């Protein structure tokens, strides 16, 4: 995956500054209420603040300990602020992306076509759906639309970050254009397909800013779990006071709130929305635009990937891989003739023949002066191409065409030739017969080349429990060969759009989730049916509307990355939840002995960290609890490291890392903070 220039550093100074301010603005209780865990912390902070003020006005001898109380209160507020900061950071990164996009939405004027055939100049925002505009070279396209007349090269770098221009033309699957992109050549007539504020760019900006962010299903479920845990801990702490009174060891509000805040899952509670926003953000960085967070999560759950053969699995062009001479012909002679005939052939197939001849037989390119060589181009009628050079007449092409040529030149067909041709076809390749005059020389073996690294990719997917299905228009024989070579689990040959649709429905009936990519209008129903439908940005408007994601790079392989991002999003949530809960064990060992140190000195046996004083123990736990939020912001924004492996090994790895780690880390952290604040003399 090429890293795009859109990548924003985690610690961008501007974003941090804005996030810091936002963290305070988010203290508004109405905003906080959306996050019950952090709302409880805020209420606790308010309570301790009031108590602190009361203590300052009317201190109670032997109870009031202003330094300790002030520090607890401050750190509680920090806990809330740190969580707000995390969310603001994630939003800030989104906003920075959005700003980049907004620059693309420069105010332009448009040439609107009137019914009488004349044009008028209007501002772009005045354009409505179904208006028709004319855009000429050098102008910006004023809105999303479909070309209804003409062909043009368009610079889409504002959206995709890709500087090479792309061709857009009326009719077919490359007719969609996006507002904010620029026409480089020619003139096109466009029918506008969206109203202002609803354009692709608008939606994209809203998405990355998180303005329309709705909680995803898993996020809601997790939020319920966290709220439930918060209530349980609230019960545990609220009822602890009566038990403490029974034991003649009543506690101050500072200690009780500290215990509560340390126990409730503030780590995940504080980072939950940041994780969600960052997940969308990561997709945008990969130039994929999800229409909803739900789709991103669904990507993580995908069981079956439908991949188009051409462009996704294979390079899309056939390449020469072998020269097969007839009996009695030297392989070098065939290669030489093949190379000669291809010098003028600019197709990828032709170039691959030259390259193969050079690589195999060290046949260098020769200077063929135009007066000595006469190139015969390929036509649909002859279905051959070739060269007349130095008295030689070399032809290459489909077997029927070349045989006709040989017979016409006075030669005769060789049965052996048919045999070779049929064998190649059977193996899924394309045979190209070469003849010189009336003498057949042999066959060039053209093959669909599977992209490098695909086999490993599919292996990884298999380990993750994802089945890959190759979709191709090839005959079953050819399809099977390529499927075997690429290592996909299954294939659909001679696929028509209906077949694709049927396959998706069949998989879904088994309870599986299906992801696919598509670009054509005839892909639209399948894209809509699939659980994750990634439309290519070069595709038609219908395809883009049917899918729930759009890939701006129009790279079908990216589906695999989309799946990984979806998984990473869920894994990050799960890991931090586990970490957060596991943390509580150490906090109990810090706070409980400290609370009852006066009433029951024997409880110091539970102070296994050997914390210096009760105040220092409680303070250290609260500080650790606050700092861990800050420390985990990068992890929340970047996501936990994803490695393709089976669920069992993933689980083992993450349980060790975040479960066991979550138990151990706070013991060390709290002890270190205790030593530090004791040394400074804060407690």
Partner 1 sequence: MTANGWLQILLFFAITFALTKPLGVFMTRVFGGERTFLHPVLRPVERLLYRLTGVDETREMRWTEYATAMLLFSLVSLLLLYLIQRLQGVLPLNPQKLPGVDAASSSTGFAASAFNTAVSFTTNTNWQSYVPETTMSYLTQMAGLAYHNFTSAAVGIALAIAFIRGIARRESATIGNFWVDFVRCNLYVLLPICLVGALVLVSQGVVQNFRPYDTAKLVDPQTVEVDKKDAAGNVITNADGTTQKERQTVTEQTIAQGPVASQEIIKEFGTNGGGFFNANSAHPFENPTPFSNFFELLCIFAISAGLTYTLGRMTGSQRHGWAVFAAMTVLFFVGIAVSYWAEARGNPLLAGTDQTASALQPGGNMEGKEVRFGVANSALWATVTTDTSCGAVNSMHDSFTPLGGLVPLTNIMLSEVVFGGVGSGLYGVLIYVVLSVFIAGLMVGRTPEYLGKKIEAYDVKMAMLNVLIFPLLILVLAAISSVAPSFGTSQLNNAGPHGLSEILYAFTSGAGNNGSAFAGISANTYWYNTTTGLDMLFGRFFMIIPMLALAGNLARKKTVPPSLGTFPVTSPLFTTLLVSVIVIVGALTFFPALSLGPVVEHLLMRACQTF
Taking CB under 8 A as the criterion, which residues in 210-249 touch partner 1?
217-218, 220-222, 224-225, 227-229, 231-233, 235-247
Q: Is 464:339 a contact under the CB 8 Å cutoff?
A: no
Of 2, 161, 93, give the one whose Cα is nearest residue 552: 161
CB of 578 to partner 1, least distance (A): 6
Does residue 605 interact with partner 1 by CB under 8 A?
yes
Helices 415-426 and 399-408, interaxial angle, to 10°?
Answer: 170
Q: What angle do CA 281, 283, 289 make, to 5 degrees?
A: 100
Q: Which of 575, 615, 616, 625 binds partner 1 (CB under 8 A)?
A: 575
- For residues 142, 146, 150, 154, the Cα torsion angle rounded to the nearest 10 degrees is 60
Q: Which stretch binds partner 1 (CB under 8 A): 58-66, 206-214, 517-525, 567-575?
A: 567-575
Which tokens belong to 290?
A: 């999800």
Q: Which of 159, 207, 263, 278 binds partner 1 (CB under 8 A)?
A: 263
Q: Which stretch binds partner 1 (CB under 8 A): 1-9, 337-345, 486-494, 646-654?
A: 646-654
Residues binding partner 1: number (CB under 8 A): 75
Nearer to partner 1, 181 or 572 (CB): 572
Nearer to partner 1, 302 or 338 (CB): 302
Q: Is 182:138 a contact under the CB 8 Å cutoff?
A: yes
Q: Which of 211, 602, 608, 664 binds partner 1 (CB under 8 A)?
A: 602
Q: Which of 313, 530, 549, 571 binds partner 1 (CB under 8 A)?
A: 571
Of 106, 99, 111, give the one whose Cα is nearest residue 179: 106
| Neighbour tally for 252: CB within 10 Å | 19
Rounded CA-CA distance 285/106 in Å is: 22
CA 323, distance to chain mean position in Å, is 42
Edge-to-edge strand list for the sheet holding 384-389: 314-325, 439-450, 430-436, 392-397, 384-389, 373-376
Nearer to partner 1, 383 or 512 (CB): 512
Q: Is 479:469 a contact under the CB 8 Å cutoff?
A: no
Does residue 275 interact with partner 1 by CB under 8 A?
no
Does residue 638 interact with partner 1 by CB under 8 A?
no
CB of 282 to partner 1, least distance (A): 14
Does residue 35 interact with partner 1 by CB under 8 A?
no
Nearer to partner 1, 567 or 671 (CB): 567
Binding to partner 1 in span 485-544, by CB under 8 A? 510-513
Q: Is 160:198 a contact under the CB 8 Å cutoff?
A: no
Q: Looking up tokens 């380990």, which residue turns up?
A: 463
Which residues face 122 on adjacent strands?
Answer: 110
Binding to partner 1 in span 150-179, by CB under 8 A? none
Nearer to partner 1, 162 or 531 (CB): 531
Q: Looking up tokens 């209780």, which residue turns up?
A: 29
Nearer to partner 1, 232 or 407 (CB): 232
Catalytic residue among 308, 345, 448, 553: 308
CA-CA distances (angstroms) from residue 563 to 399, 464, 566, 636? 44, 10, 5, 18
Nearer to partner 1, 543 or 581 (CB): 581
CB of 513 to partner 1, least distance (A): 8
Does residue 600 interact with partner 1 by CB under 8 A?
yes
Of 134, 76, 84, 129, give the one whose Cα is nearest residue 109: 134
Which residues face 439 on adjacent strands?
Answer: 436
Does residue 259 interact with partner 1 by CB under 8 A?
yes
Nearer to partner 1, 28 or 247 (CB): 247
Nearer to partner 1, 106 or 247 (CB): 247
Of 137, 199, 170, give the one whose Cα is nearest residue 540: 170
CB of 622 to partner 1, least distance (A): 16
> In sequence order, what are the residues at sequence separation of 6 or more whose Cβ sits closer than 8 angstroms to the Cβ of residue 540?
146, 173, 175, 176, 519, 520, 521, 524
Does residue 642 interact with partner 1 by CB under 8 A?
yes
CA-CA distances (angstroms) from residue 499 to 494, 503, 542? 9, 6, 19
CB of 219 to partner 1, least distance (A): 9
Which tokens belong to 136?
A: 């000429």
Q: Which of 22, 139, 186, 301 binds partner 1 (CB under 8 A)?
A: 301
> In sequence order, what are the residues at sequence separation of 6 or more whose Cβ sits closer than 8 angstroms to the Cβ of residue 305?
461, 466, 467, 468, 469, 514, 515, 516, 559, 560, 563
Rounded CA-CA distance 598/603 in Å is: 9
CB of 228 to partner 1, least distance (A): 3
Whether 301 sits among the annotated catalytic residues: the reply is no
3-class DSSP assignment, residue 140: strand
CB of 294 to partner 1, least distance (A): 11
CB of 247 to partner 1, least distance (A): 5
Does residue 603 interact with partner 1 by CB under 8 A?
yes
Does residue 111 interact with partner 1 by CB under 8 A?
no
Q: Which of 104, 334, 402, 581 binds partner 1 (CB under 8 A)?
A: 581
Does residue 585 interact with partner 1 by CB under 8 A?
yes
x/- map, 134-153, partner 1, by CB under 8 A = --------------------
x/- map, 450-469, partner 1, by CB under 8 A = ------------xxxxxx--
Annotated catalytic residues are: 308
């Amino acid at each position: 995956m090429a890293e795009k220039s859109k990548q924003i550093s985690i610690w961008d100074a501007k974003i941090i500054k804005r996030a810091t301010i936002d963290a305070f603005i988010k203290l508004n209780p109405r905003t906080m209420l959306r996050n019950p865990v952090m709302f409880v912390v805020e209420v606790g902070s308010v309570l301790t603040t009031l108590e602190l003020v009361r203590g300052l006005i009317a201190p109670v001898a032997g109870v009031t300990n202003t330094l300790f109380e002030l520090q607890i209160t401050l750190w509680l507020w920090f806990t809330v602020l740190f969580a707000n900061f995390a969310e603001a950071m994630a939003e800030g990164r989104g906003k920075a992306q959005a700003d980049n996009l907004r620059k693309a939405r420069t105010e332009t004027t448009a040439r609107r076509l009137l019914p009488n055939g004349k044009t008028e100049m209007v501002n772009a925002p005045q354009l409505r759906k179904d208006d028709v505009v004319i855009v000429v070279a050098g102008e910006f396209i004023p809105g999303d639309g479909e070309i209804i007349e003409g062909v043009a090269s368009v610079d889409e770098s504002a959206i995709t970050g890709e500087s090479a221009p792309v061709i857009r033309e009326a009719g077919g699957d490359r007719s969609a254009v996006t507002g904010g992109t620029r026409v480089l050549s020619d003139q096109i007539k466009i029918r506008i397909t969206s109203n202002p504020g609803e354009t692709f760019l608008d939606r994209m900006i809203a998405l990355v800013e998180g303005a329309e962010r709705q909680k995803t299903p898993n996020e809601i479920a997790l939020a319920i779990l966290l709220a439930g845990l918060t209530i349980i801990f609230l019960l545990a702490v609220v009822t602890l006071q009566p038990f403490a009174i029974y034991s003649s060891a009543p506690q101050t509000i500072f200690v009780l709130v500290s215990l509560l805040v340390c126990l409730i899952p503030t780590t995940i509670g504080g980072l939950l929305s940041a994780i969600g926003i960052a997940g969308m953000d990561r997709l945008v960085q990969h130039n994929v635009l999800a229409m909803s967070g739900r789709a991103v999560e669904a990507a993580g759950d995908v069981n079956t990937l439908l991949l188009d053969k051409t462009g996704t699995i294979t390079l899309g062009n056939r390449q020469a891989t072998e020269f097969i001479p007839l009996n009695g012909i030297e392989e070098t002679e065939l290669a030489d003739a093949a190379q000669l005939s291809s010098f003028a052939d600019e197709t990828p197939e032709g170039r691959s023949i030259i390259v193969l001849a050079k690589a195999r037989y060290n046949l260098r390119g020769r200077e063929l002066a135009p007066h000595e060589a006469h190139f015969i181009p390929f036509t649909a009628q002859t279905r051959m191409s070739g060269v007349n050079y130095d008295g030689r007449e070399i032809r290459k092409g489909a077997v029927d065409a070349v045989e006709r040529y040989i017979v016409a030149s006075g030669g005769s067909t060789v049965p052996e030739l048919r045999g070779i041709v049929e064998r190649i076809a059977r193996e899924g390749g394309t045979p190209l017969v070469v003849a010189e005059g009336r003498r057949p020389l042999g066959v060039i073996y053209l093959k669909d080349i599977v992209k490098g690294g695909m086999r490993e990719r599919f292996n990884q997917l298999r380990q993750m429990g994802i089945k890959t299905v190759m979709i191709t228009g090839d005959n079953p024989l050819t399809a099977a060969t390529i499927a075997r070579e690429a290592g996909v689990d299954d294939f659909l040959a001679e696929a028509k759009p209906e077949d694709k649709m049927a396959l998706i429905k069949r998989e879904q009936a088994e309870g599986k989730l299906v992801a696919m990519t598509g670009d054509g209008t005839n892909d639209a129903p399948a894209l809509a049916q699939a659980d994750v439908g990634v439309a290519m940005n070069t595709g038609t408007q219908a395809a883009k509307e049917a899918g729930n994601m759009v890939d701006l790079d129009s790279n079908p392989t990216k589906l695999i990355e989309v799946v990984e991002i979806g998984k990473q999003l869920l894994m990050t949530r799960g890991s931090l939840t586990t970490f957060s809960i596991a943390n509580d064990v150490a906090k109990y060992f810090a706070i409980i002995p400290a609370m009852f140190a006066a009433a029951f000195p024997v409880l110091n046996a539970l102070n296994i960290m050997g914390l210096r004083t009760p105040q220092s123990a409680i303070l250290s736990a609260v500080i650790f609890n606050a700092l861990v939020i800050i420390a985990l912001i990068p992890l929340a924004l970047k996501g936990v490291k994803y490695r393709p492996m089976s669920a069992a090994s993933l689980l083992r790895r993450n349980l060790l890392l975040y479960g066991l780690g979550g138990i151990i880390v706070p013991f060390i952290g709290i002890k270190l903070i205790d030593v530090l604040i004791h040394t400074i003399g804060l407690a």
